[in-house]
Structure formats: structure tokens, C-alpha cells
Amino acid sequence: MKKKADKSVSDNLNAKNTDLLNNTAVQTGKEFLTTNHGVRISDDQNSLKAGERGPTLLEDFHFREKMTHFDHERIPERIVHARGSAAHGVFKVYEPMAKYTKAGFLNDTNRETPVFVRFSTVGGSRGSTDMARDVRGFAVKFYTEEGNFDLVGNNMPVFFIQDAMKFPDFVHAVKPEPNNEIPQASSAHDTFWDFISLAPESAHMIMWLMSDRAIPRSYRMMEGFGVHTFRFINQDGISSFVKFHWKPLLGMHSVTWDEAQNISGKDPDFHRRDLWEAIESGSFPEWELGVQIVAEADEHKFDFDLLDPTKLIPEEIVPVVKIGKMTLNRNPDSFFAETEQVAFHVGHIVPGIDFTNDPLMQGRLFSYTDTQLSRLGGPNFHEIPINRSIAPVNNNQRDGMHRQTINTGKVSYNPNSLASGCPFQAGKMDGGFSSYAEKIDAHKIRNRSKSFFDHFSQATLFFNSQTEPEKKHIIDALKFELGKVETIAIRQRMLYILQEIDPVLAQEVAKGLRLDIPKNIGLVNQLVPADIDPKSYQPVYPKELAITESPSLSIIQNMVNSLKTIATRKVAIIASDGANENSIMNVKKDLLSEGAVVHIIAPTDNYIIAENEAKIMVDKTLLTTASVLYDAVYVAGGAASIATLKNDGDAIHFLNEAFKHCKPIAASLDAKEILELTYFANKLSKDKGIVMESDLTVLSKQFIMAMSQHRFWERENYGKIPA
């Protein structure tokens, strides 16, 4: 009886609450947004700040409740960045940076600072594919002698939203839809594009996400960014603004979208395997740390706001100065203990580095600690070995779940006399951290600075800066993604936004969707609270930028000035029994001398027998591998081998697919008849990416030169390729 009575009371209370809500809905035609405790929310777009450009305030109960709930939604994997790979390494600065920062690891040229770096996808679960179209996390933990500094960034320099208040909404939208948990690790669905189409601040980031930056060839071949504008503080307390960049020494390279989808089926661990194998083989990945430094006095000289995380500083305006190099030289011993348990936090900084009032960064300062409490079981996650500081840790914190430190004595408070006042606060000369004394005099307000309201200029700049093949890839990506969206109204809103970015871009996407571009979609600007006149929300900066193109934003244009190397590129040598041994081994030797990774692939496993009866070991078979896992293909000579491969459909498909994905292809001249069976047979004498020679020395030289160009994108102009 008691259970029935309790249920009745509960039902009555719920019924009363439901009636109140329903009455409101009937009267207004709306359901009002509330906190978890029923308080109606007047602004769900902006965190409470000290002035429009000021810091986020801790008293913002709505933001804290919303973010806390979001941070604790899933256990134990990360809510975002669940799928990751990591490695140990070292960082060394080139020249002292004392003019700008007092950070010790950026001033001591003799110091090798240990680092642990975790790369990741953002949207998918731990079991998803490495090759999803997605942002890639690029988080670096510096174990400095002054404490841990975490540079928690991405492979893209901007983000989807401007205020952390919207982060739970963004992630909810991009994650699999909650009614059916579909699709996994994909943004190509209704809820994501519904959110994006109603949040024009995302326009710039969408251009990056739809570009080749979202499908990198390797973690080792992608840039990294700190995303936010940070501060450098020197010994005299003088502040400069700083943007952090990681520049890969191997250059930037991507895959095609068709290739990415195939790799997901052939080897969903492609990036993880690539990083692991490179380090195990001694081909240590390297990046240079670059900075863009802006004097405090120049904060407002740009046609965008430095505090806006949806904006970047074009390198043509403020060059990136390379100040040091990071080398990853050791794989983790335990994936779980290190890669899975490492806890990064944008709030882990050291003297000489400080925050700005970027409202996305301000929210992250709360969120990261909060989410680690959920993931790692309590407040002592800093004691897990991978998270421990190499600097001594002395404080009055005690107990809590999973405590490992055994503290002695009875003093756990400050001030005290029983421990002679120890541990002591550190003064400036003792390396004590002190926040930058930024002057703030403002009203508490939920608002966003008008300087954040130019949403399209940098999106246009990014698109204009791409080469023609890269523009085509963006258009095709948008047609693919929006083609998966079932709600026509969402597609139309996105076409309206694309029109604001670039009319040709919008027209090409609209053509693929068979839709007209709306002239007036009546977009709801979600940034404007209900009681504010939308007309007052106009950008304070002009739409026209100081520059109209930035070559540094293009992967292909970056390659023009990058090191032409084939180091660590994977080459497939296709051969069968009866192959010419010299045709295989001489070319293999030349490729290895340039740092390439070479696999001999045959119809059968273990070994093949060359025409001179030599036994040549086989690395993979045509059944167990695929062309999408290689950067280039070479077909060895030998009459019997050629006769076998001519009748092997897998071998012909291997070549067709490599051609489709614009990769270099080489063949011994006597193997030409195999290439003549492919659908690109009529391109053999015209295509610059196809090398055929009888002289193996000449062949190797030309093949290596072709590989150094990475891809031959002009093939995409040949029309649809069937492989």
C-alpha cells in the first residue's frame, strides 16, 4: 500500500507541474526554456560576463548547471575526443623568448621538456573509425620544471561557437541522434545541420570541416592550433597576445573522401596504426611550435576580434614565428594507463602564460576539471602517473577517492604555525604564479560584443584561399553532408548561409541538391535575446577584410614551400611468381634510401619465387590489403608475373583505385600491358603521375619525384572514375 500511496503523491505533483506548463504553452504557444529547477531562462546563448568582452563570472548558475550536466552525461569514455592515440616525446626551444614570456621551458635552450601528446577525433565513440570527417584534437602536455602546461587544441584554428554556453548544444547536435543512436562519428545528419543552419557563427568552421583538413593522411601530417588567443607575460609583467601553431615537418597531406570511406572499412585504426608504426620504426614525427604575437596596444587594430574563437589571424598579416621543435619518440607502454587516463585541461598553465576573456576559453576553464571528476573517479586524477607533474607538489589538499599520496603530520591548512607556516606562498622572485592585472570595470551582463558579429568574412576568406581542387572537395563534401539531411527546410537554410559565404559555392551545392537558393529564409539569429532589437546586433567591423586570400590556409599551396620528401610514405610493389628480382629489389632499395616504407604485395602470402628462382618475402596479399592504405603503387616486371597479374581482378582494381585517388603509379616498361587493362589505359602517355621506364634507375628517380608531389589532382577533371 505504501508504494501505491507514494506513487499517487508523485503522480499528483507531476500532474500539477504538467498542468502549469501546459497552461503556459496554451496561453503563449511556447514552451519556455528553464533550468533543471524550473527557473525560466531569458538568455541561453551567452554566459554571464563582466562586460561584453569581459571574463565569465562564476556566479552564472545557469551556465554551471548546464555544463555540469553535460560533463557528466557519459562514463567512462570522454564525451568528446573519445577516440584517441598518443605518444611521448620532447620539446626544445630554439632561442630564449624572454622578451615576451618568463615561461622557463620557452627560455632555456638546453632544456628538453618531456611531452605527452594525444591526437583524437571529436564526435565518434572510442570504437569509431579514425577516418571520419571530423576535427582532430591535438593536445600537448608539457611536463615543465615549473609545473604542467597543457596546450589543448585542434587541427583547425577556429571553432563552431563563440560562447561556451552553446557547447553542450553543439555536441548534442553532432552526436548520434538520441532516438536511434545513428549515425556514428558523422556530422551528415539532420540534428547537426539544423543547429549549424541556425548558428551563423559556425560558418567559418564549417568551411574547415568540409575541407581536406578534416580528412588528414596522418596525424604526423597535420597542423595543430591552440585555437584561442592566449597571453604571454614577461618578467616585467608586460603582456602580449599569442596564438599557438604546430607545423609538421613532413608537410600537410590529406586523403580523398572516397578514400577515407574505404579506409574506414579496410582499416578503421589507420591513423592509430600509422603513428604507432612510425615511432616503432624510428621515423619520429616532428612539429615546430610557432607563435603569432600581437602587442597589447594592437588588440583592436584588426578587422575581427582577437577574443572571438571563430576567427583566426591570417599569417600574411601576423607571420608565424617558429620558436621550437617537438619530437615524438616513444609509444605508450599501456594504452589505458596513459592514452585513456591522461587528463588535459586548458587551465593548466605556468608562469609566463595566461588567459584572455575569450568566452569559449572561459567556459573550458570550468568544464575540463569538472569532466575529469566524472571520468577519472574523483579529485585525485592528477596523481595518476601520466598526469603527474615533474615539479614538486606541496599543498593542503587531502583525501578523496583514489588518493595515492600518503601525507604525514597533522597540518592540512593555511595559515598555520604548527608546521612553521609550510608550505609557503611563492613570491614573484620564487616563481609564484600571478594572474595578469587586466583592468575590468563593467556591468554584469549576458550579452555578446558586437565585434563578434561578422560571421561570414573569414569563411569567405578561407574558401577564396583554396585551390580549385580544394574548392571542389568542399563543394562535394557539402553535397554529401546535406544530401544526408532529410529535412528540406534545413538544406534551404544552409544554402542561404552558403550564399553569404560565396555565391558560386552556394549555386554548386544547390545544383547537386536540386534546390533553389532562398532569397529570404527569415533566419532566426539565435544570438539575439528575445527582448533585444536584432538591428542593434550588427558587426562593428566592416565585412571587407584587409586581405581577400591567404595561401597559408590551403594545404596544396602550403606544399609549394614545404619540404619535398617521401619519408614514411607507404609504397606498394605488386608482383607475383616469375617476377624479375632486380625489378623489385633495385626500386625497393631506392625508395628505402629516401625514407619510404615499402611493402611487396602478391596474390599469395609468405613469399614469391622470382624468375631466377630467388625467394622474395611478401608483406601483404591482394586479399589482405588495399590501395587506399598506400600512397603510391609500383608494378614490377617479369613475364610470368605479368601474365598472372593480367588475369587477377584484384590487381587491376588495385591500380584503378590508386589512379582514382590521384596517386603516383609506376611500372616497369614490360609491365605496361597490365596498365593497358585498366580504365586509365588511354592516359598512360599523358598523365604526369604515371611513370613507365625500362631503365630502373631512371624509373626510381622519376617515381620518387612524382611521389614528392603527393597527388595529381588534375585527374579529377577526367570525369567520374568507376573504381
Domain of residue 503, CATH code: 1.20.1370.20
Measured distance CA(234)–CA(232) in Å, rounded: 7
Owner of C-alpha cell 552564472: 60
Residue 38, Cβ density class (10 Å: 0-12 exposed, 13-18 middle, ≥19 buried): exposed
pLDDT at 226: 98
pTM: 0.88
Q: Residue 644 belongs to a domain with what CATH number?
A: 3.40.50.880
> Does 607 share its domain with 492?
no
> Does 346 share its domain with 480?
no
pLDDT at 532: 52
Least confident among 339-343, 422-426, 481-485 = 422-426
pLDDT at 25: 42
pLDDT at 541: 65
pLDDT classification of 425: cutoffs 50, 70, 90? confident
Residue 229 lies in a domain: yes
Residue 465 lies in a domain: yes
Measured between alpha carbons, how far is residue 407 from residues 395, 404, 422, 560 in Å? 10, 9, 14, 58
Q: Is the pLDDT of residue 19 over 60?
A: no
> Does 644 share its domain with 604?
yes
Measured distance CA(223)–CA(243) in Å, rounded: 13
pLDDT classification of 723: cutoffs 50, 70, 90? low
Hey, which residues does 241 pair with through a beta bridge?
Answer: 231, 294
pLDDT (average), residues 642-660: 97
> Does 635 share its domain with 713?
yes
> Does 266 share its domain with 379?
yes
Q: How far apart are the first and last CA of the chain?
A: 70
Residues 362-389 as b/e (b if ≥16 CB within 10 A, e otherwise) read: bbbbbbbbebbbbbbeebbbbebebbee
Task: Please list the active-site residues.
Answer: 81, 154
Domain that holds residue 623: 564-718
Backbone angles phi, psi at 284, to 5 degrees: -70, 125
Q: Is the pLDDT of residue 102 over 80?
A: yes
Residue 151 lies in a domain: yes
pLDDT at 528: 52
pLDDT classification of 500: cutoffs 50, 70, 90? very high
Residue 6 lies in a domain: no
Owner of C-alpha cell 608504426: 277
Measured between alpha carbons, how far is residue 49 from residues 39, 44, 52, 327, 374 in Å? 20, 13, 7, 40, 27
> Does 137 share its domain with 216?
yes
Q: Answer with the one of 550, 583, 612 that is the final residue of a domain.
A: 550
**With contact defined as beta carbons under 8 Å apart, do 338 and 42 qualify?**
no
Residue 412 lies in a domain: no
**With contact defined as beta carbons under 8 Å apart, do 207 and 474 qualify?**
yes
Q: Is the pLDDT of residue 118 over 90?
A: yes
Of 606, 665, 615, 610, which is closest to residue 638 (Cα–Cα)? 610
> What residues have CB less than 8 Å from 695, skipping those under 6 apart?
none
The DSSP secondary structure of 26-73, one letter per residue, reads HHHS----B-TTSPBPS-SSS-EEESTTSPBPTT-HHHHHHHHHHHTS
Q: What angle do CA 99, 100, 101 make, to 5 degrees?
A: 110
Q: Residue 327 belongs to a domain with what CATH number?
A: 2.40.180.10
> Does 545 share its domain with 586?
no
Q: Is the pLDDT of residue 564 over 90?
A: no
Residue 181 lies in a domain: no
pLDDT at 602: 98
Q: Is the pLDDT of residue 168 over 60?
A: yes
Q: Answer with the one of 387, 416, 435 that is the final residue of a domain.
A: 387
Measured distance CA(191)–CA(198) in Å, rounded: 11
pLDDT (average), residues 112-134: 96
pLDDT (average), residues 151-159: 98
pLDDT classification of 159: cutoffs 50, 70, 90? very high
Measured distance CA(126)–CA(128) in Å, rounded: 6
Q: Is the pLDDT of residue 539 over 70?
A: no
> Does 218 share its domain with 258?
yes
Amino acid at 710: H
Residue 25 lies in a domain: no
By three-state DSSP, how is residue 472 classified? helix
pLDDT at 5: 41
Count of domains observed in the chain: 3
Task: Tell me which H or E stretch contains 573.
Answer: strand 570-574
Q: Is the pLDDT of residue 327 over 60?
A: yes
616-625 per-position pLDDT tens digit: 999 999 999 9
Least confident among 200-214, 534-548, 668-682 = 534-548
Of 562, 585, 680, which is closest to residue 636 (Cα–Cα)? 585
- Packing angle between helix 488-501 and helix 457-464, nearest 10 degrees? 80
Least confident among 293-302, 459-468, 514-523 = 514-523
pLDDT at 367: 93
pLDDT at 16: 42
Measured between alpha carbons, how far is residue 616 from residues 431, 571, 580, 593, 599 in Å? 62, 17, 10, 19, 12
> Does 491 share its domain with 586?
no
Cell of 633: 603503387
Q: Is the pLDDT of residue 371 over 50?
A: yes
> What residues have CB less than 8 Å from 459, skipping those under 6 apart?
203, 204, 206, 207, 501
pLDDT classification of 421: cutoffs 50, 70, 90? confident
Q: How many residues does the chain have?
A: 723
**How many CB atoms sit inside 10 A of residue 639's CB?**
13
> Does 375 share its domain with 469?
no
Residue 40 lies in a domain: no
- Packing angle between helix 581-593 and helix 696-707, nearest 10 degrees? 40
Backbone angles phi, psi at 469, to 5 degrees: -60, -40
Q: Is the pLDDT of residue 28 over 90?
A: no
> Does 322 share its domain with 467?
no
Cell of 261: 570511406
> What residues have CB less than 8 Å from 301, skipping those under 6 apart?
none
Write down the mean pLDDT value for the chain: 90
By three-state DSSP, how is residue 416 classified? coil
> Does 314 share its domain with 238?
yes
Q: Answer with the one of 495, 524, 550 that is the final residue of a domain.
A: 550
Least confident among 93-97, 260-264, 542-546 = 542-546
Task: Tell me which H or E stretch contains 136.
Answer: strand 136-144
Measured distance CA(215)–CA(255) in Å, rounded: 6
Sort residue 38 into left (φ over 0), alpha (ψ -120 to 50) or beta: left
